[in-house]
A and B are shown apart, each in its own frame.
Chain A
Amino acid sequence: MTDLTMIDAICMALSRALEDDPDVIIFGEDVGIDGGVFRATDGLMQRFGATRVRDTPLAETVIAGMAVGAAAQGLRPVAEIQFMGFLYSAIDQLANHAARLRNRTRGRLTCPMVLRAPYGGGVKAPEHHSESMEAMLAHIPGLRVVVPSSPARAYGLLLAAIRDPDPVVFLEPKRLYRALKEPVHDDGVALPLDRAQVVRPGDDLTIVAWGAMVADAGKAADALAERGISVELIDLSSLKPIDRATIRASVQKTGRCIIVHEAPLTAGLGAEIAADLAEHCLTSLLAPVIRVTGYDTVMPYARLEDRYMPDAARIQASAQQVMEFA
């Protein structure tokens, strides 16, 4: 077992999938000879050949639409959209087709495709390259949306997504691509989809986060522990469907919840979770449910990026506010 970055873990999972299932194919812009602009598909074309790993022309709509068609015909396409900011052109094919094909043909045609895209900010990228609009996708019935928070989870969840018989959008927090390393075993074991993970247990306050925010929430939790506040940290992992049972059980125990996401506040997934808690955990709540999020503004350019994104300090300050409702 070696220590891998998230990008290496993703590459390993893709390699594993290509090896295990001859129906798996990969395509997208620059995924072939260049190995992907972040090296997610590094070396795969060289190993598996250009019929399994192909470069497409610059055309997000057809990348997504072709995945629909190929999946319906029996392949397992893993398509890459180079950045979430360019995924909007593909939403028509996702919402109007991928998400509906099984339902509108009563199961006759299905769509076992994966659409991968780097998402989120924090890497000083040019504009449009730091989007977090995952709530748009999570709103689409029939779709799955998955976000890993670590290299090992990226490996296991991507394998699960590829093996799943339904369409999955796999959003990779680019800030984590090389930020940390951990042991990842190439055992071909998929992690379960549709489940949130309790990263650390606690008693006083539940923090729900996903993607790069899980690490920041973890740092805040460490600082809070020094102040005697025991945080239960949940990595949502599955943005659609949301593992409501795990979140509810946690808040029933702690009575307090903070939800952290990079994405803008209004109509972000924090709102969905807060509404669910208001509906199902009202009498457990000791304090208001707080969302620590990006602001309702266009993601600023690189210079102001750090002022936009939630960080450990903001999370900690909100946690302390919530704990005022002791």
Chain B
Amino acid sequence: MTVFTLPDLGEGLQEAEIVAWHVSQGDHVITDQPLVSVETDKAVVEVPTPFSGTVERIIASEGDVVAIGAPLVDIATGVAEDKGAIVGELGDGEKDASPADTPAADSPSPAPAGAGATPAVRQLAREKGVDLATLTGSGPGGAILSSDVLAAQAGSVTGDALRGVRRSMARAMARSRDTVVPATVTDRAVIHRWAAAENPSLRLVQAIAAACSAEPALNVWFDGKTRQLHSHLDLAIAVDTSDGLFAPVLRKVDTQTDLAARIADLKAAVKARSIQPEALRGATFTLSNFGMLGGEHASLVVTPPQVAILGAGRIEEACLAEDGQPVVRRVLPLSLTFDHRVVTGGEAARFLSAVRADLERPTHHAND
């Protein structure tokens, strides 16, 4: 730090008035740079900076009359402080560094409780008073759809429910058409050896269970990309009502006893409109015993993600050939529609043969 004093300006002058400073505090000044203009009797003189440095303090002010040798300015010599930036103010790093952040960004936020449903569906559920937690979604990845919400409502409220079920059916059928590649193979089971009181629905259920054992390729789910094999058979049984088509599901058919009673219960529940929404979900195979109403063979609609549906036509007498001789037998027409994207013709044929073979036995020994 050096104090620079007013130098001798010559001509015997003792003092001068400060007219104008050309630098200010903090400036880095360079030797010979004009420092200050002072007025003498004769002229305004520019006083050059005597050495380089940083102006620490301006001592004499403009207007002051300063004697030769009196202090003018304090200049700090030596290297100036590095500002470390070319524009702006970067600060001096004196603040404490913030503590290291625990990396929270990468951990996924906890999944929302309950099944997946878009906000609009949640809103709808709120409006209709439906608890989403009680629903299984029929949308992609198990998402709950507005039709699911409306169908759930179908169990308790009349009027609107009709539209819901019929609308659901329309959408489901369209969805099937857009994705499934259906193919149908037909056959007839010759059931003349059945006891008179034999229950066709029960026999069909049992036959399907047996066929799923023999040819598991038809008891799968397929979403267009992945094929999921099932160890159990959850069989949807199509039930026709005045309100529309319902397909309650018989769970784990392959392990159940008391099938007849359970089938009857399901049909009664549908009739009484007390069927619960979850009882309509998650089937791995479907049986449509349309023959009870009429019809022989049919191309049916596969409900994805299932890959097959078995249709049973009207039981009636038919003229067949046996050992070269015409005979009259009672027959049960069978139609198996399957999704040819994922089920081969061979698998379908084997399955249908197994169904037929089981049906043609006088009784189904495994159950009952």
Residues in A lying within 8 Å of B, measured CB to CB: 227-228, 255, 282-288, 320-321, 324-326
With A286-B146, A321-B140 in contact, is A326–B118 under 8 Å at CB? no
With A282-B119, A283-B120 in contact, is A227–B139 under 8 Å at CB? no
With A283-B119, A284-B120, A321-B140 in contact, is A228–B146 under 8 Å at CB? no
Task: Spot the interface stretch: B87-95, B152-160, B170-178.
Answer: B170-178
Q: Which of B119, B123, B175 contacts A326 (CB 8 A)?
A: B175
Q: Could you show 21 A-B contacts with beta carbons less than 8 Å apart?
A: A227-B174, A255-B120, A282-B119, A283-B119, A283-B120, A283-B123, A284-B120, A285-B119, A285-B120, A286-B118, A286-B120, A287-B118, A320-B178, A324-B140, A324-B175, A325-B143, A325-B145, A326-B139, A326-B145, A326-B147, A326-B171
A288 to B123, CA, bound (A): 15
A324 to B145, CA, bound (A): 9
> B306: shortest Cβ distance to chain A, in Å?
16
Cβ of B121 within 8 Å of any chain A Cβ, yes or no, is yes
What does the 1/0 interface line of B122-156 toward A look like (CB < 8 Å)? 01000000000000000110010111000000000
A287 to B139, CA, bound (A): 10
* A320 and chain B: residue at smallest CB distance: B178
Which of A255, A287, A320, A325 neighbours the largest number of chain B CB atoms within 10 Å of its CB? A325
Q: How many residues of B contact A (CB 8 A)?
A: 15
A285 to B116, CA, bound (A): 13
Nearest 6 CB-CB pairs, A to B? Answer: A324-B140, A286-B120, A326-B171, A282-B119, A283-B119, A283-B123
Q: Which residues of A contact B174 (CB under 8 A)?
A: 227-228
Majority secondary structure, A binding face:
loop
> A257: shortest Cβ distance to chain B, in Å?
12
A188 to B143, CA, bound (A): 52
A286 to B118, CA, bound (A): 6
> B316: shortest Cβ distance to chain A, in Å?
38
A284 to B124, CA, bound (A): 10
Q: Which residues of B contact A324 (CB under 8 A)?
A: 139-140, 175
A282 to B118, CA, bound (A): 9
B120 & A227 in contact (Cβ 8 Å cutoff): no
A286 & B175 in contact (Cβ 8 Å cutoff): no
A227 to B174, CA, bound (A): 8
What does the 1/0 interface line of B39-60 toward A look like (CB < 8 Å)? 0000000000000000000000
> B300: shortest Cβ distance to chain A, in Å?
20
> B228: shortest Cβ distance to chain A, in Å?
17
With A283-B123, A286-B146 in contact, is A325–B118 under 8 Å at CB? yes
> A313: shortest Cβ distance to chain B, in Å?
14
> A159: shortest Cβ distance to chain B, in Å?
41
Q: Which residues of B contact A285 (CB under 8 A)?
A: 118-120
A200 to B121, CA, bound (A): 26
